[in-house]
Amino acid sequence: DLNIIDLFDRENGIVKASIYSDPDVYKLEMERIFSRSWLFLGHEGQIPKFGDFLVTTMAEDSVIVSRQGDGTITAILNQCRHRGNRLCLADMGNSKSFRCTYHGWVYNSAGGLVGMPHETDGYHNKLNKAEWGAIRVPRVEIHKGLIFGNWDAEAPALSAALGDVAWYLDAFLDGAEGGIELSGPHRHHVKCNWKWQAEQHGTDFYHAAISHNSALTALNPPGAPPTSFEYTQTPDETGYQFGMPELGHGAAGWFPARNDGLVRFAPAPAPAYLGGPAREEMRARLGDIRTDEMGSLVMTVFPNLSLNRAARYLRVWQPRGPNRTEVVHYIILDKKMPEEVKDAIVRGTSFSFNASGLFEQDDSENVALCHRGASEGHISRQTPLNVQMGLGFGGPHPDFPGQINHVYAEEGARAFYSHWQDLLMGGAK
Ligand code: FES
């Protein structure tokens, strides 16, 4: 009975509050978005050797991601085909097979059913094991070390789904020889719908000066360079926002911004390293624009992967019902960094953005309160909400791909909901 066209008015930038809590919307999202989109599974560096595996979720479905003997990566549903028990209870490890703990069916790491107790006297050798393997994620592709999976065997290639957002994403991945590695994950839950965090990370710099005022003021030591907060107080504050409505991606960044960003709050030697040799290497590899003008880049790869460059995190917003999100948080490190720099960055990022981080608490409270405001109450659920900032003022830019607007805009949010709506209506993938 959903009238999907009424949920988001893209011409006027109006979203209906019920999209954040309606169980029917959530059910359709599982079917038409999370079963058809490329979803982040992990990083290649987490499973370098044959038999290495990690367990993650694709929305609500638990999957095992494994390195095979030929170097390829497979992903299978973490579900026994006998009675549905989990095949693996660990988060990661090394195993070339998974044995169900209930009755003992055994699967290889590519999902093939290879044996079970009482195959002869119980099943009389009649069970066709080839038909009862674990469900395989049909598409797994890699972008510069990031592993993505897609339940839709007919989905366009990952490169097509990323499109122009790859140019922004690569600012996180290509800044140092040898690439990145991920520290973590850390996990915590927030009482809000998954879209709040995913959409806001692709669009909202508007909140920072207000929401993070206390944290930024408290953290800025006397005589230190200006914080981002102070940039927002100057008349020449600027920056860009990038939206890609045909694919749902969004990104934003303030200018100028230093690449050491929030990690300046990390203990030594992180700030010196990030502002010194790492920055010059980044300039040589990525060019001036992505070095000097995108240090504060925050972005969302549709539907639920977000990255923050200044805080050096990558995270996935995993839906856990319409009213709860599991935040899966990793810290991005350059693989070749000295160990003491890695350690300092982990401390600095955890101090600012993590379950107990100063800024995280501001943001988590915002989205939880927005969720309550939009979902508790019959009248509240019918309210039109405003996504109009900068509407009609976007356009192309000679240096950046996508639809470009001022940093104080909701170009990314409108891109997010446009693609979200297209998918719900069964349209463009
Ligand atoms: Fe897995 Fe029975 S549920 S072997």
pLDDT tens, N- to C-terminus, the chain (429 residues): 789 999 999 999 999 999 999 999 999 999 999 999 999 999 999 999 999 999 999 999 999 999 999 999 999 999 999 999 999 999 999 999 999 999 999 999 999 999 999 999 999 999 999 999 999 999 999 999 999 999 999 999 999 999 999 999 999 999 999 999 999 999 999 999 999 999 999 999 888 878 887 777 776 666 665 554 444 444 455 788 899 999 999 998 876 555 456 555 678 888 888 888 888 999 999 998 888 878 889 999 999 999 999 889 999 999 999 999 999 999 999 999 999 999 999 998 888 888 888 889 999 999 999 999 999 999 999 999 999 999 999 999 998 888 899 888 999 999 999 999 999 999 765
Q: Which atom of ligand 1 is nearest to the CA of 105?
A: 4
Q: Which atom of ligand 1 is nearest to the CA of 100?
A: 1
* Dihedrals phi, psi of 317, to nearest 5 degrees: -100, 100
The neighbouring-strand residues paired with 39 are: 149
105 CA to centre of ligand 1 in angstroms: 6
CA distance 169 to 143: 10
Q: Which atom of ligand 1 is nearest to the CA of 103?
A: 4
pLDDT at 209: 77
Nearest to 325 by CA among 55, 40, 140, 57: 57
Cis bond leading into 48, ω under 30°? no
Q: Which of 152, 207, 397, 399 is catalytic?
A: 207
Catalytic annotation on 118? no
- ipTM over 0.90? The verdict is yes
* Dihedrals phi, psi of 100, to nearest 5 degrees: -65, 135
Catalytic annotation on 121? no
Q: Ligand 1: which of 98, 103, 114, 119 to mutate, most ligand atoms within 8 Å of CB?
A: 103
**What would the two tokens of residue 80 be?**
């026994």
Q: At what angle do helices 339-352 and 358-375 cross, to 10 degrees?
A: 40
75 CA to centre of ligand 1 in angstroms: 20
Q: Ligand 1: which of 77, 82, 86, 129 to mutate, most ligand atoms within 8 Å of CB?
A: 82
CA distance 262 to 208: 13
CB 161 within 8 A of CB 429: yes
**What would the two tokens of residue 415 be?**
């891109």
CB 116 within 8 A of CB 87: no
Instruction: Name the residue with the closest Cα to ligand 1, atom 4.
Output: 103
> Residues 6 or more apart from 152 whose CB is under 8 A from it?
35, 36, 138, 139, 429
68 CA to centre of ligand 1 in angstroms: 24
The neighbouring-strand residues paired with 403 are: 243
94 CA to centre of ligand 1 in angstroms: 21
In 160-248, beta strands by DSSP E: 180-190, 238-244
130 CA to centre of ligand 1 in angstroms: 16
Q: Which of 103, 186, 188, 406 is catalytic?
A: 103
Q: Ligand 1: which of 81, 89, 100 to mutate, most ligand atoms within 8 Å of CB?
A: 100
Q: Which of 22, 52, 363, 422 is catalytic?
A: 363
Instruction: Name the residue with the closest Cα to ligand 1, atom 3.
Output: 83
Catalytic annotation on 212? yes
82 CA to centre of ligand 1 in angstroms: 5
CA distance 403 to 164: 10
DSSP letter (8 states) at residue 135: P
pLDDT at 321: 98
Q: At what angle do helices 194-201 and 358-375 cross, to 10 degrees?
A: 120
Instruction: Name the residue with the closest Cα to ligand 1, atom 2.
Output: 103
CA distance 21 to 10: 20
Nearest to 361 by CA among 166, 181, 218: 218
CA distance 413 to 423: 15
CA distance 240 to 423: 27
* Dihedrals phi, psi of 114, to nearest 5 degrees: -110, -10
Catalytic annotation on 397? no
Catalytic annotation on 207? yes
- Residue 205: CA count within 13 A, CB half-sphere: 30
189 CA to centre of ligand 1 in angstroms: 30
pLDDT at 72: 98
pLDDT at 195: 98
215 CA to centre of ligand 1 in angstroms: 51
Pocket of ligand 1 (CB under 6 A): 80, 82-83, 85, 100, 102-105
